[in-house]
A and B are shown apart, each in its own frame.
Chain A
């Protein structure tokens, strides 16, 4: 027990813990903001997991073909938008069962990425390492003196991390302070009323779902061209679903969702810190028991809190114009 407390203390005073927390928060943040845009307009999107995966894959494909991670990100977003469009098309135009069609998209992403890995990269399982997206000569976090605690935390983070947190503010502004945001909320709460007032429900919903594709694919691209520089099969490992849980815990509000993502990120970082702590000397065979913690926390959060948070009223219900 004493060893555990010492290890805990060492973890939370280590700048690497905070760096890992921000890194682990970032993909969740992108994906959960994406889910929020979709659900605010009344369309569930459990396909986030698949959109992240295809984004992660196309990010590496673009980098591999051109040597430029920016091209990779553009390809990732294009793929994410295509997947999101498929989801929108099925759910909005054809009133599909959104949960089942989104499951199909997750499988499609797993199938396509696994299938194309070998023809493109010449080996199954995972790719070689390619250039990552890095801060160039200018890193805004260099304002912290080299070697200081804050520089250790922020100085080596991917540019994606800053973008993710800026997107929280942008999303909040977009949803609560603009006309389109007001329409999105109206369509999500009461599509019939919004329709009566002349809002094009279909167009707003397409917009929300496609934005979820943009955001979630950025989250996936962060995993591949932002964090690791490679793609491996099923590398998203349930993060799309954890992001959905964060969105629910955050009560469909961008800032609260950010808090929820950081909670999950902190759990992940603490997990990594404790596993590698020399005082605890955790055997490699015991590590799966640590790795299941984020999933247990998600289960408890979703099971325990869902009754107290409230989804937009029309989530999951297709809208059909009368007459």
Chain B
């Protein structure tokens, strides 16, 4: 079986197995006879699908959720292509969103055609710097990026929470920032109740195109992939590994920062302490399902945003929405240990590593 087919079959099988595992768990927490539990499972999945794709409002909510997920998926996936595991998209997203919001709140003097791009630029630069710290440490001292980005996540969590409770807070209740200037708000495409789908979705899809071109059509992308494929031979071939690691982390962080920025200027129009809410971690499973390919990542983010959106509806029949985290965990596990799937399918291939 060739590589291209495998890179399609493994994530699809992983998703299917994960849904089977989730079904078993839902059956176990159900009540009554086996058939009553099966009915419960059916209702749960019915509500999940209805909540995600059952009406135009559901589709709008799914697309709203999909916007940041495309970008966090790209952030993680781009890192994987260069052999770094950016598990810190969560913190980069929060820091990017906070910085962009601070800018956007004070940007009322700027015309729209400057205010929006500059807000995005601020968010991306902040995300890039935040991730760049981890890239710099990995390149210079060999500190593993997983530990450093997790620490940066916690630091970002505390900084952003401090910001919206003390110097940059507004009103009472949920900690939040003041509202951003009107000139920085992204134009709306559609609304579902209070939720606005903005043109941010197109910004995210364009980012996927840019990353595709960068990876496949430029020499910079070739260097990044070479470092990810084999850092020793890349170095031997005259490619600076440490420069590429820092650059990869910065680009990855810029994508996550843009994800946070779009949440602020496109959806909430302010910064909330809970703005990132696991969307950075969702990027890991999205990148793995999409096999780190920008177009695969777009489809994977539709799948995960559908699951996330639908799971809110599923809660009403008594299935906690954490089931989506379990599904994602099983998917990530199976893609990382892709030989499990190959063994199940009895696919024999020449000695090849996992896709990441």
Contacts and interface: CB of A to CB of B under 8 A. Distances in A.
Tell whether A pairs with B: yes
Interface of A: 46, 86, 90-91, 94-97, 99-101, 103-105, 107-108, 110-112, 114-119, 124, 237-238, 241, 244-245, 283, 285-286, 288-289, 291-292, 295-296, 298-299, 302-307
Contacts of B243: none
A309 B288 CA distance: 32
A285 B151 contact: no
B326 A115 contact: yes
Contacts of A105: 329, 333
A204 B336 CA distance: 22
B330 interface: yes
Q: What secondary structure prevails in chain A residues at the interface with B?
A: helix
A100 B332 contact: yes
Question: Which are the 9 A-B pairs with shortest beta-carbon distances?
Answer: A111-B325, A96-B337, A108-B329, A104-B333, A292-B158, A114-B322, A111-B326, A100-B336, A104-B332
A295 B328 CA distance: 27
B236 to A, nearest CB: 20
Interface stretch (B60-68, B141-149, B222-230): B141-149
B104 interface: no
Given A105-B333, A288-B165, A299-B151, A99 B85 contact: yes
A101 B336 contact: yes
B218 interface: no
B320 A299 contact: no
Q: What secondary structure prevails in chain B residues at the interface with A?
A: helix
Contact of A100 (B161, B162, B288): B288
A285 B169 CA distance: 11
Nearest to A283: B166
B12 interface: no
B154 interface: yes
Interface in B70-89: 85, 87
Given A96-B340, A285-B166, A303-B137, 7 more contacts: A90-B333, A97-B356, A101-B332, A103-B146, A111-B328, A119-B320, A244-B147
Interface string B337-349: 1111001000000
A210 B137 CA distance: 31
A302 B29 CA distance: 42
Contacts of B333: 86, 90, 96, 101, 104-105, 108
A286 B155 CA distance: 14
Nearest to B281: A107
A303 to B, nearest CB: 4
10 contacts: A46-B147, A90-B336, A94-B340, A100-B356, A107-B328, A245-B151, A285-B162, A302-B148, A304-B141, A307-B141
Contacts of A288: 158-159, 161-162, 165
A94 B353 CA distance: 10
Given A241-B150, A285-B162, A306 B336 contact: no
Interface in B259-312: 281, 284, 288
